[in-house]
Amino acid sequence: RPEGLPEEVDVLIVGCGPAGLVLAAQLANFPDVTTMVIDRRDGPLEVGQADGVACRTVEMFEAFGLADQLIAEGYWVNEVSFWRPDPDDRSRITRTGRIQDVEDGLSEMPHVIVNQARMLAYLRGSMERSASRLRPHYGLHASELTVDPSGESEHPVTVTLQHLADFRETGRTSTVRARYVVGCDGARSGVRTAIGRELVGDLTNQTWGVMDVLAVTDFPDIRLKAAVSADQGSVLIIPREGGYLVRIYLELDAVRDRDMLENRSVTPEKLAAVANRILHPYTIEVKDVGWWSVYEIGQRLCDKFDDVPAAETPSRHPHVFIAGDACHTHSAKAGQGMNVSMADAWNLGWKLAAVLRGTAVPDLLHTYSAERQEVAAELIAFDREFSRMFSAAPKEGGDSGDDEDIDPERFQRYFAAQGRFTAGVATRYAPSMITASPEFQDLARGLPVGMRFHSAPVVRLADAKPVQLGHVARADGAWRLYVFADRSDPASPDSRARALCDFLVSEKSPIARHTPAGADPDSVIDVRAVFQQGHRDLPVDAMPAVLQPRKGRFGLVDYEKAFCPDPAAGDIFDLRGIDRDAGCVVVVRPDQYVAHVLPLDAHDELADFLAGILVDAR
Ligand code: FAD
């Protein structure tokens, strides 16, 4: 048995792609959870694969402290241009429009392009810096998986690992027993097969030619994301980080000139020749090919993302999960593969950690498949439409309204209208044990229950620093209560915000109930308050005790819990439609999704909601 290879772990993650490493980075923040992450590759991915990083993914990376690096390094997709045949000479393309990529105010984060290999490197960096100092084990192929059905074993899942050298079997194997196994092992997932699930959907694959090139061209939009739809086929141009590199996507099934690609013997030279035909009268001279691939993918989906049959849910708890391409595949056109895979893992990670650490009830684990399967189904429906629009040949005389005849201008309008979806901020989880019904939504109209907490600028009271409120949410597994205060002075007895803060330090407080002895008071439920007064008008020392918790070995006071509006950047109460008279408390899950909006005086409802999820630690 190789050194450092454990025999028993809490979580075994199979696969070091985007899903596997987000999950590993999340679990690495909990040193009391033992995690092992393996891949059959002989080392980290060095280049290639996906590269689109949606605004929502950048928001998630912020929780890992990785957003600054990503934003600095990435290409920013600020605008997109659209090209189609010139009506006067259809052999030439002409620009039909140029639009903003991300609508104003959708996210504080940009849409960026960064190579998947770099994204994975950031995540490995986060894992290595974490309290667990977690590192992937490469050269291990998970070949067999069995689950002990008796329910008596603490580590019911047994996985056989074949040791590989240069992707070849060495004949050596090890076994690992795990409480939970997560198959982040891609579209051909063996974990999926082992739990008897399958990807269902299109029988045929779409084939994409993709290459990252250094090129000299007279095509004017080479540093803009450009969707070109010509009689010869379609090409998507994605400028890359660093200023020179460009990614060219060609949908090979849509290329009209078949002899270019006969027998699927695609080469970068053939891809470049097709790109030149499509871009005519412009030319692109490829000087160097950094990476290229022919990438085949169909639109497919699993009916459930865990090992428990629907008939036995919720009575039996899952022990094996699948995430990312293992449970859904779709085209690369809308750039969602890496993003949705990471979002799956982000959804699962905090739930596994909470159950393993004994802070949440195991029923929580059922919500992973329920939530993410629905998101994947929506994505596939969206991708189908988006792909059809993208690939349809432009017709002479423009859009006739016929389904087969999609004018690029119609595609352009569709593209703009779907911006929220592609930015990753349209996800809305249905009511469940962790998502309340939106009974009090009027109190915070801009923070819809079930959707991600949309950050907004504020000024931190204690040090007058302008910050984004949403960025207080780290990948630390804590629930967050954002108390949006009513108009009263928080020191006055009329203040409902004050009364809530006092309740939160009382005997009946959910904090007292759910925080394990010895843990920091904000480690399970973290309270942040936003007052309506200016930051110079509120004395810091008059803040309620829950907003000045004493933490750590020295009992230091955490002063970073209270905020005020930032008039220079926009008042958060206006930006997020908060009822100024009533105020409200917004309950946010550890993955930044709004779980509940409640009136400030709904103390018992707040406590009851959290008691349905969190374990009584007293
Ligand atoms: P993956 O990234 O596929 O990771 C799965 C990992 O599991 C791999 O590292 C694999 O080695 C490992 N693994 C599999 N089986 C086992 C096993 N039994 N034991 C141990 N390890 C195992 N998307 C785009 O949007 N644009 C693109 O241009 C694009 N190009 C792509 C090109 C290629 C060649 C591929 C394969 C994918 C491409 N994708 C692209 C898709 C995108 O990369 C995926 O959507 C995304 O990587 C999914 O992440 P994941 O973590 O679910 O799976």
* DSSP summary character for residue 399: -
Residue 363 pLDDT = 97
Work out the pLDDT band at 403, boundaries 50, 70, 90.
very low
**Single-letter amino acid code for the residue at 420:** R
Calpha distance 498→486 (Å, rounded): 9
Q: What is the pLDDT of residues 97-116, one digit of tens each?
A: 999 999 999 999 999 999 99
Q: How many CB atoms lie within 10 A of CB 535?
A: 22
The model's confidence at residue 468, banded by pLDDT at 50, 70 and 90, is very high
C-beta 193 within 6 A of ligand 1: no
Q: How far is CA 186 from CA 47, 339, 368, 401, in A?
A: 17, 14, 18, 38
Q: What is the pLDDT of residue 140?
A: 97
Is the Cβ–Cβ distance between 422 and 77 less than 8 Å?
no
Question: What pTM was estimated for this model as a whole?
Answer: 0.95
The pLDDT value given to residue 411: 74
What is the rounded distance in angstroms from the CA atom of residue 142 to the CA atom of residue 533?
57
Place of tokens 């991708």: 383
**Ligand 1 test: best mutation among 338, 344, 372, 387, most atoms within 8 Å of CB?**
338
C-alpha distances (whole Å) from 462 to each of 499, 525, 536, 541 are 21, 21, 9, 9
Compute the distance between CA of residue 306 and CA of residue 325 in angstroms, rounded to an integer. 14
Burial class (CB in 10 A: 0-12, 13-18, 19+), 475: buried
The DSSP secondary-structure symbol of 134 reads -
User: pLDDT confidence of 397, banded at 50, 70, 90?
Assistant: low
Residue 553 sits at φ, ψ, to 5 deg, of -60, -35
Instruction: Please report the ipTM that was assigned to this predicted complex.
Output: 0.97
pLDDT band at 408 (very low <50, low <70, confident <90, very high): low
Ligand 1, atom nearest to 187 Cα: 3
User: Does position 605 have pLDDT exceeding 90, yes or no?
Assistant: yes
Q: What's the pLDDT score for residue 233?
A: 87
Gap between the Cα atoms of 157 and 175, Å rounded: 10
Give the separation between CA 384 and CA 330, rounded to whole angstroms: 8
Tell which wins on pLDDT, 203 or 585: 585
Tokens of 23: 């999950």
- Rounded to an integer, the average pLDDT of 359-363 is 97
Q: Is the pLDDT of residue 527 over 70?
A: yes
pLDDT at 263: 57
599 C-beta closer than 6 A to ligand 1: no
The pLDDT value given to residue 236? 93
Give 562's strand partners: 529
Write the single-letter amino acid at 17: G
**Distance (Å) from CA 17 to ligand 1 centroid:** 6
φ/ψ (deg, to 5) at 44? -60, 150
118 CA to middle of ligand 1, Å?
14
Q: How many CB atoms lie within 10 A of CB 269?
A: 9
Nearest CA to ligand 1 atom 26: 50
What percent of the chain is modeled with pLDDT above 90? 80
| Rounded distance between C-alpha atoms, residue 40 and residue 133, angstroms | 21
What are the tokens at 531? 């007052």
pLDDT, average across residues 2-27: 94
Between the CA of 113 and the centroid of ligand 1 the distance, in Å, is 17
Atom of ligand 1 nearest to the CA of 45: 9
Q: Whose CA is nearest to atom 16 of ligand 1?
A: 185
At residue 207 the predicted structure's pLDDT band, cuts being 50, 70 and 90, is confident
- At 370 the pLDDT is 97
How many Å apart are CA 337 and CA 402, to the nearest integer? Answer: 30
The pLDDT of residue 3? 73
Q: Say what angle helices 337-356 and 55-63 make with each other, to 10 degrees.
A: 30
Q: How many alpha carbons fall within 13 Å on the CB side of residue 103? A: 13
Q: Which of 67-81, 165-179, 380-394, 424-438 is the least confident region?
A: 380-394
Mean pLDDT of 257-263: 60
Any atom of ligand 1 within 6 Å of the Cβ of 41: yes
374 — phi, psi (to 5°)?
-65, -40
Gap between the Cα atoms of 394 and 412, Å rounded? 13
Pocket probe for ligand 1: among 39, 164, 300, the residue whose CB has the most ligand atoms within 8 Å is: 39
CA dihedral 165, 166, 171, 176 (to 10 degrees): 60
Task: Supply the DSSP string of 365-386, one letter for each residue.
Answer: GHHHHHHHHHHHHHHHHHHHHH
pLDDT top residue among 150 and 456: 456
- CB-ligand 1 contact for 156 (6 Å cutoff): no
List the structure tokens of 488.
């009263």
**Please, what is the average pLDDT of the chain?**
92
- Tokens, residue 410: 């119609």
Instruction: Provide the pLDDT for residue 54.
Output: 96
CA dist 470 to 145, 447, 461, 483, Å?
40, 12, 16, 13
What gap in Å lies between CA 72 and CA 122, rounded to an integer?
Answer: 13
252 lines ligand 1 (CB under 6 A): no
Cα 190 to middle of ligand 1, angstroms: 13
How many residues are recorded in the chain? 618
Q: How far apart are the first and last CA of the chain?
A: 42
Give the phi and the psi of residue 515 in degrees, each rounded to 5. Answer: -90, 120
Q: pLDDT-based confidence at 59, cuts 50/70/90?
A: very high
* CA dist., res. 340 & res. 390, Å (int): 20
Q: How far is the CA of 379 from the centre of ligand 1 (A)?
A: 18
Q: Is there an atom of ligand 1 within 6 Å of 293 CB?
A: yes
Mean pLDDT, residues 415-440 taken together: 92
Question: Looking at residues 337-341, what average pLDDT do you find?
Answer: 94
- Measured distance CA(103)–CA(380) in Å, rounded: 23
Q: Is the pLDDT of residue 49 over 70?
A: yes
* Segment 370-385, tens digit of pLDDT: 999 999 999 888 888 8
Residue 57: both structure tokens together = 């993914």
Q: Encoding tokens for residue 131?
A: 């309290």
pLDDT at 396 over 70: no
Between CA 162 and CA 595 the distance in angstroms is 42
CA distance 432 to 612: 11
- Which range (54-58, 176-180, 257-261, 544-548) has the least confidence? 257-261
Tokens of 507: 């005997």
The pLDDT of residue 401 is 47
Q: How far apart are the C-alpha atoms of 187 and 156, rounded to whole Å? A: 25
Q: What pLDDT is attached to residue 262? A: 63
Question: Quick check: 274 and 263 in contact, CB under 8 A?
Answer: no
- What pLDDT, on the 0 to 100 scale, is given for residue 339? 96
Nearest-angstrom CA–CA distance, 63 and 347: 13
Q: What is the 3-state secondary structure (H, E, C) of 4-54?
A: CCCCEEEEEEECCCHHHHHHHHHHHCCCCCCEEEEECCCCCCCCCCCCEEC
Among 325, 372, 390, 422, name the best residue to mutate to test ligand 1's pocket (greatest count of ligand atoms within 8 A of Cβ): 325
pLDDT tens, position by position, 121-159: 999 999 999 999 999 999 999 999 999 988 889 999 999
d(CA 332, CA 231): 21
